[in-house]
Chain A
Amino acid sequence: MYSRAYKTLVSAPPLLWVALFLLLPYALMFAHSFWTVQDGVLVHQWNLANYQKLLTNPLYAEVLFRTMRIAASVMLSSLLLGYPLAYYLSFHSGSRKELLYQLVIVPLWVSYLVRGYAWKTILGSEGVLNGFLQYAHITHEPVSFLLYSPFAVVLMLTHIYTPFVFLPIYASLEHIPRPLVEASQDLGASPTSTFFRVILPLSMPGLLAGATFAFVLSLGDFLAPLLVGGSSGTMIANIVQTLFGATYDWPLGAAISVCILLMTLSLLFLTERLEKRWSFK
């Protein structure tokens, strides 16, 4: 057995880390959300004014709903891309498996910003895509809805988060014992039937984890809307950023953050329950 001193020594740094960089900031954020700013000065006076403002001003609700819509779209499209990719890699890629796996992972090493600017170059009115569309005589003038729209945000976030969705799905597919697939076919199930009755249910934990990644990460993203979102693609994190920066209204920013945090936590709680329901160990 380890001595008491040893245990304390080993567990102290991570506990300290969590207290200093997680619990303390959250506590501060929580406290700020009940304070106010008057004439550019923070007033430490407990009240619910910030939350009232959030509920009464329709702008916040609108941006919040747009954010959730974008996050849900990113989740769906990255699932639609990531699942088939993971399925193909796990079950049908044969000897090309390692190479393809690396190809999926490599984009994760490229800076988020670089990928953002790449989309700007692709989608802009003088961009690669518009250039091609005109060259191919599909359109005669630059298509403007491509850049600076919720569509562009969804596209960019899907590109960035698909590997995050792919990884847990791939891991759960790799964990399915192959004899189960053979047993299903042996009992008379066609490949399609086998997929829906055996493979999909057994990969549910990975699918849920991937979906949660995509949704939660998109929910808090502020760079993609900043780079390619324009005014119609503004998301809730941009509002928070502005409130903490230019507007200097930390209390309202903190109140929004608390709301997002609560949503995220309840979502994580929900998926945790679902994942338990779908695990059979």
Chain B
Amino acid sequence: MSSAAIPQPVSVDANLPLLEMRAVAKRFGSREVLKNISLNIVSGEFLTLLGESGSGKTTLLRLVAGFEQPTSGEIWMSGEHLDTLPPYKRRVNTVFQNYALFPHLNVRDNIAYGLRVQRAPKNEIPGRVNDALNMVKMAEFATARPSRLSGGQQQRVALARALVNRPQLLLLDEPLSALDANLRKQMQSELKALQRQIGITFLFVTHDQEEAMALSDRIALLRDGVLEQVASPREIYAHPATAYSAQFIGQTNLLQGEIRRSIATCGVLRWPLEEEDGPVIFSLRPETIRLCPEGKRQTNEVKFRATIRQQIYGGTSELLEVDCGAGQLLRVRLPACGPLTGEHDFVFSIADAIRVAD
């Protein structure tokens, strides 16, 4: 084995999923934290587990790391049954939420820890540790104790300490949540660049939907221990599967109503829709609603008249709350257009009202 400049993942058949969760469930006493989770992670992808606190995302990560055992179901990694192995035998490494750097070891020894305990060839260790230090731009702090480092620096060391072991899968448990907003943005882009560069599969946990959107190839949205939707950020935004997805990722208007004889009715809004009769929920993103120039409605559009209730100026855009009559409120995002008052005509395209499950 050569001391390659950058840790390389073990090559895996691209058609096979790297990690496979098969009907995984986890119960703590009588509390069901995860219910029937089936999820595949493809080699090289950046997958984010997104959810509110208590949704089970960290538990799912800990199942993969081996700190918890699934109550039922199986986890497989590159054709190997993973959940029978203790944590120290898994080719998985974790970046912990508060970094968990060893306080009695300096930066270099922290990074070398994994190589030493796994008895990597002695002559290889210094080279690999130096490469890892350079990769996260921390070479000048090699002999510093973790307590002397800032949050962002500790973050980098934690990343290097995990990556130096060339894991097949890197788990990241809200690694950026302890950083302030500016540093977080910077670390987000560094993290993304690093992941592209080294090609290691990332399983990332966050409660921050913007962060998930910015970083992920795919997002797995968790709600109360159930996978709500698994899709790319664009897909999940444009076609949310459920009302919860639509609300959690980005802002939306949820329109509750019903379809009867090919007419969808949601409060005062009505449009033709060739679907079966019954109750429905639509997600209508605020930015899909536009001001309607006089008399210019097309056949595939819905036009309505509404009163401006509130206007929030956001620099490049305006967020309006409008009342379309009978107390039905909608949020509308327009390009910055100056103060608006009174009644206006608005329009949206029927195709933008996405039917979502409850």
Q: Which residues of A contact B (CB under 8 A)?
A: 177, 179-180, 182-190, 193, 197-198, 201-202, 278, 280-281
Given known contacts A179-B98, A187-B118, A189-B88, what 12 new A-B pairs fall within 8 Å (CB)?
A: A177-B100, A179-B96, A180-B100, A182-B87, A183-B94, A186-B92, A187-B93, A187-B113, A187-B162, A190-B88, A198-B102, A202-B104
**Between-chain CB contacts (< 8 Å), 29 pairs:** A179-B98, A179-B100, A180-B100, A180-B102, A182-B67, A182-B87, A183-B96, A183-B101, A185-B66, A185-B67, A185-B87, A185-B88, A186-B66, A186-B87, A186-B88, A186-B93, A186-B94, A187-B88, A187-B93, A187-B162, A188-B89, A188-B114, A188-B117, A189-B88, A190-B88, A193-B117, A278-B104, A280-B103, A280-B145
**Restricting to B81-95, which residues have a CB under 8 Å from any CB of A?**
86-89, 92-94
Contacts of B103 in A (CB 8 A): 180, 202, 280-281
Residue of B nearest to A280 (CB): B103
Contact B87–A201 (Cβ < 8 Å): no
A-B contact count (CB 8 A): 71
> How many angstroms between the C-alpha atoms of A278 and B145 in the bound complex?
13
> How many angstroms between the C-alpha atoms of A190 and B119 in the bound complex?
12
Option from A179, A193, A281 in Cβ contact (under 8 Å) with B147: A281
Q: A177-B100, A201-B104, A280-B104 are in contact. Are A185 and B93 (CB under 8 A)?
A: no
Contacts of B355 in A (CB 8 A): none
Contacts of A177 in B (CB 8 A): 98, 100
> How many angstroms between the C-alpha atoms of A198 and B102 in the bound complex?
8
Taking each of B66, B102, B162, which has the highest tally of chain A beta carbons within 10 Å of its own beta carbon? B102
Interface size of B by CB at 8 A reads 27
Contacts of A186 in B (CB 8 A): 65-66, 87-88, 92-94, 162
Taking each of A177, A182, A188, A280, which has the highest tally of chain B beta carbons within 10 Å of its own beta carbon? A188
Closest 9 CB pairs of A and B: A187-B114, A280-B103, A179-B100, A189-B117, A183-B100, A188-B118, A185-B87, A185-B88, A186-B94
Contact with A along B219-258 (1 / 0, CB 8 A): 0000000000000000000000000000000000000000
Q: A182-B87, A182-B96 are in contact. Are A188 and B165 (CB under 8 A)?
A: yes
Q: A179-B100, A180-B100 are in contact. Are A187 and B117 (CB under 8 A)?
A: yes
Contacts of A180 in B (CB 8 A): 100, 102-103
Instruction: Quote the shortest CB–CB distance from A195 to chain B (angstroms).
Output: 12
Check if B161 is an interface residue, CB within 8 A of chain A.
yes
Residue of A nearest to B112 (CB): A187
Contacts of B145 in A (CB 8 A): 280
Contacts of A281 in B (CB 8 A): 103, 147
> How many angstroms between the C-alpha atoms of A184 and B118 in the bound complex?
11
Instruction: Quote the shortest CB–CB distance from A205 to chain B (angstroms).
Output: 11
Contact B161–A187 (Cβ < 8 Å): yes
Contacts of A179 in B (CB 8 A): 96-98, 100
Contacts of A187 in B (CB 8 A): 88, 93, 113-114, 117-118, 161-162, 165
